[in-house]
Amino acid sequence: MENHSQSHEEGPARPAPHYVEIKTVLEAAIACGKLPEGTILTEGAVAKLFGTSRTPVRTAFSHMLDDNQLRRFDGRGFVVGGQTGPEPQRRRLTSAMLGLDPEERKEPKPDSAELIAHSFQTSLTNALPFGMYRINEQAAADHFGVSRNIVRDLLGRFRDRGLVRKDLRSHWVVGPLTARDVSHFFAIRAKLEPLALLESAPLTPSSEIERMRAALDTALKNPAAMGTATYEALEQDMHVRLLENSPNPHLLRMVGQTQLALVVNSIFAANIGASPFGIALREHEMILEFIIRGSHGAAAQSLEEHIRLSAERTRQRLIAISVFPHPDLPRYLQRHTP
């Protein structure tokens, strides 16, 4: 009689998940001493050497943490060795340390979650000012052509950022964004963003500041002709790129969570045009001028005042948006009544 289990074994073997390969290589490097105990590992550095995204690296780290092969390092990575290992040391991670051939390294390939993350997040954010929507996991998976687990994983990440939540029936929902929410978000932003600016501005290359100022000057020469894309790029310069060099990742994470309300201005600009934002951009100009002069404290104070003034303008725009036609949202977003 034919041995069915053997016949199955003779079929083509499915490749192991990428995280398994990463975990195996790291374990071998640790075992042979090429990757010494105490070495600090970060997702980005390991992903670069393997030519992959950070997701499988994160999974490999999680398994190795559970196996007591790694320990956490102050929220900024992991350290080789268990809880009783040597003191953490920063070493430049190389292909040789992991036994990899540097000639075979490829450019990182984004996984399915990263390929759809931006589009998925944008659709959810655009729904915020128009009411509460239920998110259908299976419909979203079908829309993007991925597994439901990938959609669920992304929704978990979005919940950590404060974008989505679960209702009393454990359904994923997004919105509504209310005038009270706008007030609360902007009140927090007015405190956190100036802190990030104080840390980040001195570390931002002068060439980058000059680029921001040149882009702003070009827009201010003819604000009536400024397009939505230009306005959003200038907003990114002021509220993301100018802050991103802060060495405090927890501060930057909280800043990002409070910037959800900025979608109101983006939707308003898409429907009305960007010309009403000329006053706000003049405030940007003052902040950049202080930074160019090296007056970072004055720049932080100006940014705080800019955010306070923007709060009322954004609340008024949210009221105006209520009469705009609802956007053409994907089918996985369904109007929801709690």
- Summarize pLDDT for 217-250 with one digit per residue, the tens: 998 888 777 788 888 899 999 999 999 999 998 9
First to last CA, the chain: 61
Instruction: Please give the pLDDT value at position 107.
Output: 47
Q: What is the Cα–Cα distance from 8 to 15, expressed in whole angstroms? A: 15
Of 53-67, 107-121, 180-194, 198-212, which gets the smallest average pLDDT? 107-121
Q: Is residue 330 part of a domain?
A: no
Same domain, 186 and 164: no
Q: Is the pLDDT of residue 83 over 80?
A: no
pTM listed for this prediction: 0.62
Residue 337 lies in a domain: no
Are 101 and 110 contacting, i.e. CB atoms less than 8 angstroms apart?
no
CB distance 299 to 93 below 8 Å: no
What pLDDT shows up at residue 2? 42
Residues 83 and 164 in one domain: no
Q: Which amino acid is at 283?
A: E
The verdict on 89 and 154 lying in the same domain is no
Asked, for residue 49, whether it belongs to a domain, the answer is yes
Q: Which of 153, 176, 199 lies at the terminal end of a domain, its last residue?
A: 176
Domain boundary residue, one of 104, 137, 164? 104
What domain range includes position 35? Answer: 18-104
pLDDT of residue 196: 96
Least confident span in 90-104, 195-209, 264-278: 90-104
Average pLDDT estimate for 175-189: 92
Total residue count of the chain as it appears in this document: 338
- Is 329 within a domain? no
Residue 4, domain member (yes or no): no
Angle at 162 between CA 124 and CA 128, to 5 degrees: 35
Lowest-pLDDT choice from 111-120, 201-210, 302-311: 111-120
Is the confidence at residue 75, as pLDDT, over 60? no
Number of structural domains the chain divides into: 3
**Using an 8 Å Cβ cutoff, are 57 and 47 in contact?**
yes
Average pLDDT of 137-160? 89
Across 13-22, 56-65, 270-279, 286-295, which has the greatest mean pLDDT?
286-295
Pair 215, 234: CB distance under 8 Å: yes
315 in the same domain as 231: yes
Dist CA 136 CA 18 (whole Å): 28
Which of 65-74, 108-117, 168-177, 304-313 is most confident?
304-313
- The answer on pLDDT for 135 being more than 80 is yes
On whether both 149 and 212 belong to a single domain, the answer is no
C-alpha distances (whole Å) from 77 to each of 70, 241, 298 are 10, 23, 34
Can you give the CATH number for the domain in which 122 is found? 1.10.10.10
**Same domain membership, residue 170 and residue 195:** no
Same domain, 32 and 100: yes
pLDDT (tens digit per residue) in 188-217: 999 999 999 999 999 999 999 999 999 999
The domain that contains 205 carries what CATH number?
1.20.120.530
Helix segments in the chain, DSSP class H: 4-9, 18-31, 43-50, 54-66, 95-98, 112-127, 137-144, 148-160, 179-200, 206-221, 228-236, 249-258, 263-272, 278-292, 296-321
Q: Specify whether 191 is located in the same domain as 248.
A: yes
What the block records as the tokens of 242 is 């100018």
β-pair partners for 78: 41, 72
> Same structural domain for residues 315 and 190?
yes
Q: Do 183 and 171 share a structural domain? A: no
pLDDT at 40: 87
| pLDDT at residue 16, as a whole number | 59
Q: Based on the domain organization, do 218 and 137 belong to the same domain? A: no
Do 202 and 243 share a domain, yes or no? yes
In the block, tokens 């009270």 appear at 180
CA separation for the pair 164, 104 (Å, rounded):
40
Residue 97: its pLDDT value, please? 84
For residues 178-197, average pLDDT: 94
Q: Is residue 37 part of a domain?
A: yes
